[in-house]
Structure 1
């Protein structure tokens, strides 16, 4: 998909109807709207079998990159509920947060999604491994390094195990 060069495009998060994320992504593609639906593989248990399935990493959310002039075009798609907004205005998602999600998922790095905002911890930059260059907040939990990649404005955090990566403390980061 080609991005507009005459106007700035911003990432936004959209709420979708439950279990409509994949259909919404297909319809947005048909409209030429750049979108990102983070997908992860999960092992699901049924009464008679287990099966690997692809599911949205964050239920009922899809991310779009769109110029402000096309802001309302998304409502042509059945299954979209609303923009994630603050005081009635859609909030921008920083490009680096979308990139961190993409690289985590594309490199098949184990992660969990938590519905909370992390406030404490050191600001770090990953200096090796598939997440090299990604900045985030790190904590030590029972001897395991965890990188918390906050997805601002929607209250979700990807929690990535950093056992095999090297990190460097950011200048001016909090303790």
Structure 2
């Protein structure tokens, strides 16, 4: 079966104006553009109170899944600055990286590597827990175990503590 490139959806990162991420997400929703704005809860302090608020996990970025036909339409949304690109070409982000980021942020659960023969720098796959199926690079194998989930092309890495999860080497 031949693939129709106009209906193939690809993930990209958009750079937004500062503190405009939520408005951009709303605007993209109105356009019918699939988007993902990773949010985290932070305790904010005001002079008279403290309050938990949701803030973007990565400031000034939002992720979109679009077809080639939708490429230019996102600029109709107020607050969109540019695609994250290299030499003028928007850089696609692999779907498995978006899924890893979504699972990491949405589950809010710590993990720990329990396998004894895993070495620093090895690529592993988590085989149990909320991050099951996610691949990453082992940063260290002593003390707290870290899984680094690289988000291609935007220069960010999610660092996840692995506790009570099984992993296997690639």
TM over 0.5: yes
Question: Residue 62 of structure 2: SS of its match in structure 1?
Answer: strand
Provide the aligned C-alpha RMSD in A.
1.9
Match of 2:138 in 1: 138
Structure 2 residue matching 1:23: 3-state secondary structure: helix
Equivalents in 2 of 1:36, 1:56: separation in Å?
10
Q: Does 1:163 align with 2:168?
A: no
SS in 1 for 2:70: helix
Provide, for residues 85-127 of structure 1, a one-character-per-residue CA deviation record: whole Å limited to 9, x for no partner: 011000000000000011111212359xxxxxxxx71100001
Provide the residue aligned with 1:103 in structure 2. 103
Structure 1 CA distance, aligned partners of 2:90 and 2:30? 23
The residue aligned with 1:74 is 74
Deviates more, 1:83-92 or 1:142-151: 142-151
Consecutive unaligned residues of structure 2, counting only runs of 5 or more, are 112-119
Larger Cα-atom Rg: 2
- The gaps in structure 1 that reach 5 residues or longer are 112-119, 171-175
- 5 Å-filtered alignment, 1:7-46, equals 7-46=7-46
- TM-score, L = length of structure 2: 0.87
Aligned residues: 159
TM-score using structure 1 length: 0.85
Q: Secondary structure at the match of 1:98?
A: helix
- Supply the distance in 1 between the matched residues of 2:110 and 2:75 (Cα, whole angstroms): 34
